A = this chain, B = another copy of it.
Amino acid sequence: MRADARRNRDRLLAEAEAVFRERGSDASLEAVARRAGVAIGTLYGHFPTRKALLEALLRDRQDAVFRLGDRLRDADRTGAALAEWITAVTEHAATYRGLAAQLLGSLDDETSELNAACRRMSEAGQHLVARATAAGDIRPDTTADDVFALISAAAWLRDQVPPAQADRLLTYMIDGLARG
């Protein structure tokens, strides 16, 4: 990759991060290009879709989430492990306003650049759900899709209400999952 291309790519990612944090993940791509000091076509050259740009932005953060998933795989307290997973992924999915909807919508959309990441997250959740149901820690009919959807709803809430309230409501949701 040419040096100037690399530099443009890096600047685009940095400005996209800033703009998405300020205005949400549906913010203007023209604004991102403008702030990065490149033409709009350069943005499209590096990231053909908004989701491709989002995927690149989330890469590093996702790795941390997956490491947590690995660490929780064999935890003794399966209910607590699932709760910790849900809390971490909720925070991840609330990085930018509007991201939760994109992630939830990408789980079943194979054309989405976010699909692979969503599937990996869902599969990590799947394992934790299976262990928690086997241990009787959560409702027996719970699916990995349920957990992914609940996480998305909690992440959506984090963008709409004060953090303390969002945390409390997430606790309610997790408890609702536990109730048999």
Contacts and interface: CB of A to CB of B under 8 A. Distances in A.
A101 to B, nearest CB: 7
A104 B169 CA distance: 15
Q: Which 5 A-B pairs have the closest CB atoms?
A: A176-B176, A172-B176, A175-B176, A153-B153, A175-B179
Contacts of A105: 160
Number of copies: 2
B175 A150 contact: no
A178 B178 CA distance: 12
A155 to B, nearest CB: 10
Interface of A: 101, 104-105, 139, 141, 145-146, 149-150, 152-154, 156-157, 160-161, 165, 168-169, 171-179
Contacts of A149: 157, 160-161, 165, 169
14 contacts: A101-B160, A104-B160, A139-B172, A141-B168, A146-B168, A146-B172, A150-B172, A152-B157, A153-B153, A153-B157, A153-B169, A172-B179, A175-B179, A179-B179
